[in-house]
């Protein structure tokens, strides 16, 4: 018996030791039950379990971005991100031993190339680089990383680089953890810089495209004005043209050795997995990576206070706009919470100062605001676009007046509580998805904010008072302490595109596979047992009234609801629907002003949207489930009893004309219009687009009649939320009128055109 007891005690001790091999942190009150591990080499691992689908969202984040680029090779973080997809000594090559001498000589020649000023000598060296690269390509196998991800069933293969971070993205099946960890650990430990000069061509093109992207130019100008001492403002993620023209493989390798070390990385996971097995697999493959001796700390001179407006100007083809921005503290400072609150008070899409004073009253074509918080510094920005005949200076003054109201405390204190409630609802939406969860982990790791601060952020924000908001605004959003960028139309005198050198097409070796790829392909894994959705069991349908069928799905995971009315009528049936829905958002009812409607919906953390597409229209009400009845009451009353306002309609028409003119100046606007023409043809475009003359003739009676006719017709009701079927029936009976028609209007089906021959469409 003593021997048996000894064995039992020894076995329990062994089990406890095994369980404690990987210690992890948790945070009380965390709805995700997040586990945060730190391996012996410093690698952070964040994970939460979500068994909704047999998939896992994986992000591997490196705490390095454009701000860490050496001044002589800016853009390095971004183009190294591209090079991380080129393979290792194990894959991406047929014979690395034969390939390596060629790659080493290419590296050496680039070091010579970047230090020679004479163009003739540079061209001669580049021809040698091109020749060697062609020979090396005979031994390389392009896109093997993508093939590996395809083999294991990964989805969403991607990566991105910002000023603060570089992140690598994969969505993998839950039975492929082992293969995923093996491949990722291999490429993070042993990336081989191959195909360098052909990848540079891609990066050149990305840089050239950015030179005509007005939004990017505006944000780069804002950064330069706010952060003259910090890399946020001194260099861009894509790098300078001079740096891109003089790249260095040696610097790339040094960069990898310095920053791509486990004590500067985090693996962020959410999905269907066993945490104990997951951490064991990650440790097995990543645990032997050598930590960096010392990851360099970013050094910069603190920014001096701004005492007068810093003015910048940007030119381009897009519509004119003006952006104002105030500098704030970084993500790990108390400014982060306050900035988010202040951003929501200024603009939230419904009841912010800009929403009610400028957008709802159509004082400008469009305005918005928000907080943009990064690791080292943040900002509050406000933006406006002018109406026809309005100057950017006038828009500036209107925006400044609303920020002044904030400093003066001229806002309803309920906006703070409403902002907190809406933050809570938005967080619930984020936590629904694996991507949203993993994104929050990345923010915590990169910004150096403890996970507990993210978990309890809503509680902290709820304790903020109006007095604190006003005091913060007076200190941080001064009348003269901002940067301002005027975006005007016209040729940009600064655009100088990079001329790409002539490159010999490389050998692709499309039908070749490395031994590494064949091993992964041959790996045996336990199959995922399919779960077939039984719609009769998973969700319910019932007829509420003739012409109104309900598709119901109970959501007991959180307190959010989504209620959508789906009408089989779109702008192909009635071109008036689009302007009608825009008009409705500006109107009042006999009992509530438009401003009060938006403010009350924001107070109860609910939203509504009206949108019409080619063959369908949607009305969606969403938010906190406890407030669904009140939200339905407000929205349904607006649709039924909206009061026409001819002054609002006249201004709306002016703004629609201005928007049309602006769209003609927009690259994306032209491209979208070109696609529509190409897909459906000119007859469809003419039939579904109101001419300027027809738009000018529109009356309130026509527009409101169009919406009410829509609502009188048959439709489906889609519900996902915490209410029971009986509770939903009661709310519909109380607030939603039954259809008076049971048949939808006839209209030609939106047939895409056939393509019997090749055609090229061009919009200048």
Q: Is residue 676 part of a domain?
A: yes
Q: Is residue 304 part of a domain?
A: no
Report the alpha-carbon distance of residue 342 to residue 326 in Å, rounded: 12
Asked if 330 and 426 sit in the same domain, the reply is: yes
Q: What is the separation of C-alpha 312 from the centre of its chain, rounded to a whole number of angstroms?
A: 27
Each residue of 211-237: pLDDT tens digit? 989 999 999 999 999 999 999 999 999
Non-local (6+) Cβ contacts of 202 within 8 A are 82
Asked if 185 and 49 sit in the same domain, the reply is: yes
- According to the model, what pLDDT value does residue 200 have? 87
- According to the model, what pLDDT value does residue 172 have? 98
Q: What integer is the mean pLDDT of 159-169?
A: 98
- According to the model, what pLDDT value does residue 20 have? 62
Each residue of 554-590: pLDDT tens digit? 987 778 999 999 999 999 889 999 999 999 999 999 9
Q: Is residue 225 part of a domain?
A: no
Asked if 122 and 254 sit in the same domain, the reply is: yes
Report the alpha-carbon distance of residue 102 to residue 94 in Å, rounded: 14
The tokens 């336990």 sit on which residue?
526
Q: What integer is the mean pLDDT of 315-320?
A: 94
Q: Is residue 740 part of a domain?
A: no
Asked if 330 and 268 sit in the same domain, the reply is: no
Report the alpha-carbon distance of residue 383 to residue 294 in Å, rounded: 41
Asked if 115 and 246 sit in the same domain, the reply is: yes
Q: What is the separation of C-alpha 407 from the centre of its chain, rounded to a whole number of angstroms?
A: 31
Question: Residue 748: which pLDDT band, with cuts at 50, 70 and 90?
Answer: low
- According to the model, what pLDDT value does residue 742 have? 73
Q: What integer is the mean pLDDT of 269-298?
A: 96
Q: Is residue 360 part of a domain?
A: yes
Question: Helix axis angle, 414-431 relative to 594-603, nearest 10°?
Answer: 60
Residue 130 pLDDT > 80: yes
Report the alpha-carbon distance of residue 383 to residue 225 in Å, rounded: 16
Report the alpha-carbon distance of residue 360 to residue 609 in Å, rounded: 15
- According to the model, what pLDDT value does residue 747 have? 59
Percent of the chain, pLDDT > 90? Answer: 85
- According to the model, what pLDDT value does residue 99 have? 97
Question: Residue 4: which pLDDT band, with cuts at 50, 70 and 90?
Answer: very low
Q: What integer is the mean pLDDT of 198-202?
A: 89
Q: Is residue 16 part of a domain?
A: no
Question: Residue 6: which pLDDT band, with cuts at 50, 70 and 90?
Answer: very low
- According to the model, what pLDDT value does residue 11 have? 39
Residue 762 pLDDT > 90: no
Q: What integer is the mean pLDDT of 69-96?
A: 95
Residue 156 pLDDT > 60: yes
The mean pLDDT of the chain is 93
Q: Does the reported pTM lie above 0.85?
A: yes
Q: Kindly report which listed range (17-31, 155-169, 512-526, 594-608) carries the lowest average pLDDT score.
A: 17-31
Asked if 441 and 550 sit in the same domain, the reply is: no
- How many structural domains are present in the chain? 3
For residue 639, give the 3-state DSSP assignment: helix
Asked if 279 and 344 sit in the same domain, the reply is: no
Asked if 281 and 316 sit in the same domain, the reply is: no
Non-local (6+) Cβ contacts of 554 within 8 A are 721, 722, 724
Asked if 248 and 323 sit in the same domain, the reply is: no
For 337, the domain range is 310-489
Question: Residue 179: which pLDDT band, with cuts at 50, 70 and 90?
Answer: very high
Residue 18 pLDDT > 70: no
Asked if 343 and 477 sit in the same domain, the reply is: yes
Question: Residue 761: which pLDDT band, with cuts at 50, 70 and 90?
Answer: confident
Q: What integer is the mean pLDDT of 700-711?
A: 95
Q: Rounded to 10 degrees, what is the CA torsion of 431, 435, 441, 445? A: -150
- According to the model, what pLDDT value does residue 534 have? 86
Each residue of 486-535: pLDDT tens digit? 999 999 988 888 888 888 999 999 899 999 999 999 999 999 988 888 88
Q: Where are the beta strands (DSSP E) in 293-397?
A: 310-316, 321-329, 366-373, 377-385
Query: Is residue 430 within 8 Å of residue 436, measured between CB atoms?
Result: yes
Question: Residue 10: which pLDDT band, with cuts at 50, 70 and 90?
Answer: very low
For residue 483, give the 3-state DSSP assignment: strand
Query: In CATH, what number is assigned to the domain containing residue 436?
Result: 3.30.830.10
Each residue of 367-415: pLDDT tens digit? 999 999 999 999 999 999 999 999 999 999 999 999 999 999 999 999 9
Q: What integer is the mean pLDDT of 650-666?
A: 94
Q: What integer is the mean pLDDT of 322-348?
A: 97
Q: Is residue 220 part of a domain?
A: no
> What are phi and psi for residue 116, nearest 5 degrees?
-100, 125
Report the alpha-carbon distance of residue 444 to residue 431 in Å, rounded: 15
Residue 1 pLDDT > 60: no
- Judge residue 42's burial from the number of C-beta atoms within 10 Å of its C-beta, 0-12 exposed, 13-18 middle, 19 or more buried: middle
Asked if 566 and 622 sit in the same domain, the reply is: yes
Q: Is residue 714 part of a domain?
A: yes
- Judge residue 247's burial from the number of C-beta atoms within 10 Å of its C-beta, 0-12 exposed, 13-18 middle, 19 or more buried: buried
Percent of the chain, pLDDT > 70? Answer: 97
Each residue of 426-440: pLDDT tens digit? 999 999 999 999 999
Asked if 562 and 711 sit in the same domain, the reply is: yes
């Amino acid at each position: 018996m003593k021997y048996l007891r000894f064995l039992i005690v020894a076995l329990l001790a062994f089990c406890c030791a095994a369980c404690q091999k990987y210690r992890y942190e948790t945070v009380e009150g965390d709805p995700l039950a997040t586990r945060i591990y730190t391996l012996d080499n410093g690698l952070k691992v964040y994970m939460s379990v979500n068994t909704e689908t047999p998939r896992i969202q994986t992000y591997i984040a490196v705490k390095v971005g454009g701000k860490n680029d050496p001044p002589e090779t800016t853009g390095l973080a971004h183009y190294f991100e591209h090079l991380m997809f080129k393979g290792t000594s194990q894959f991406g090559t047929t014979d690395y031993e034969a390939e390596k001498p060629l790659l080493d000589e290419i590296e050496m020649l680039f070091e010579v190339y970047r230090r020679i000023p004479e163009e003739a000598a540079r061209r001669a060296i580049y021809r040698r680089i091109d020749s060697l690269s062609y020979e090396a390509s005979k031994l390389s196998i392009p896109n093997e990383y993508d093939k590996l991800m395809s083999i294991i069933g990964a989805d969403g293969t991607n990566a991105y680089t910002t000023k603060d971070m570089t992140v690598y993205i994969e969505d993998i099946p839950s039975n492929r953890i082992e293969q995923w960890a093996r491949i990722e650990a291999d490429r993070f430990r042993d990336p081989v810089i191959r195909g360098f000069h052909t990848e540079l061509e891609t990066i050149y093109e990305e840089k050239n495209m950015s030179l005509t992207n007005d939004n990017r130019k505006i944000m780069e100008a804002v950064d330069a004005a706010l952060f003259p001492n910090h890399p946020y403002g001194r260099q861009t993620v894509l790098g300078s043209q001079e740096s891109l023209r003089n790249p260095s493989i040696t610097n790339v390798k040094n960069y990898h050795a310095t920053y791509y070390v486990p004590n500067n990385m985090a693996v962020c996971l959410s999905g269907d997995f066993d945490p104990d097995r997951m951490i064991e697999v990650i440790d097995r493959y990543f645990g032997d990576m050598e930590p960096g001796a010392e990851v360099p700390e970013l050094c910069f001179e603190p920014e001096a206070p701004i005492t007068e407006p810093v003015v910048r100007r940007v030119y381009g083809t897009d519509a004119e706009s003006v952006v104002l921005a105030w500098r704030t503290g970084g993500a790990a400072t108390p400014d982060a919470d306050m900035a988010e609150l202040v951003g929501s008070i200024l603009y939230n899409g419904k009841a912010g100062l800009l929403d009610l004073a400028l957008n709802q009253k159509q004082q400008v074509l469009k305005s918005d605001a928000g907080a943009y918080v990064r690791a080292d510094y943040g900002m509050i920005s406000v933006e406006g676009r002018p109406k026809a005949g309005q100057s950017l200076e006038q828009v500036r003054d209107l925006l400044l007046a609303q920020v002044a109201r904030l400093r003066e405390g001229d806002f309803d204190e309920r906006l703070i509580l409403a902002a907190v409630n809406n933050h809570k609802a938005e967080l619930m939406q984020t936590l629904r998805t694996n991507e949203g969860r993993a994104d929050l982990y990345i923010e915590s790791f990169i910004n150096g904010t403890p996970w507990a601060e993210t978990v309890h952020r809503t509680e902290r924000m709820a304790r903020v008072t109006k007095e604190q908001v006003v005091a913060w605004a007076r200190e941080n959003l001064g009348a003269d302490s901002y940067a301002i960028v005027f975006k005007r139309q016209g040729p940009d005198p600064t655009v100088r595109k990079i001329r790409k050198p002539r490159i010999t097409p490389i050998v692709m070796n499309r039908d070749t596979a490395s031994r590494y790829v064949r091993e992964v392909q041959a790996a045996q894994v336990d199959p995922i047992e399919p779960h077939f959705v039984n719609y009769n069991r998973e969700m319910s349908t019932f007829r509420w009234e003739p012409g109104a069928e309900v598709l119901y799905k109970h959501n007991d995971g959180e307190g959010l609801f989504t209620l959508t009315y789906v009408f089989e009528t779109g702008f192909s049936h009635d071109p008036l629907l689009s302007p009608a829905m825009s008009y409705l958002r500006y109107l009042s009812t006999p009992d509530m002003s438009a401003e009060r409607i938006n403010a009350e919906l924001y107070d109860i953390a609910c939203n509504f949207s009206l949108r019409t597409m080619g063959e369908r229209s949607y009305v969606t009400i969403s938010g906190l489930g406890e407030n669904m009845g009140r939200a339905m009451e407000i929205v349904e009353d607006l649709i039924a009893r909206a009061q026409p306002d001819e002054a609002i309609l006249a201004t709306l028409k002016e703004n629609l004309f201005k928007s049309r003119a602006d769209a003609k100046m927009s690259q994306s606007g032209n491209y979208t219009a070109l696609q529509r023409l190409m897909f459906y043809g000119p007859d469809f475009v003419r039939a579904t687009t109101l001419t300027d003359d027809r738009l000018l003739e529109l009356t309130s009676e026509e527009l409101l009649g169009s919406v009410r006719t829509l609502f009188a017709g048959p439709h489906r009701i889609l519900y996902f939320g915490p209410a029971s079927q009986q509770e939903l029936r009661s709310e519909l009976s109380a607030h939603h009128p039954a259809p008076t028609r049971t048949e939808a209007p006839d209209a030609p089906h939106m047939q895409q055109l056939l393509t019997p021959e090749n055609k090229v469409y061009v919009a200048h």
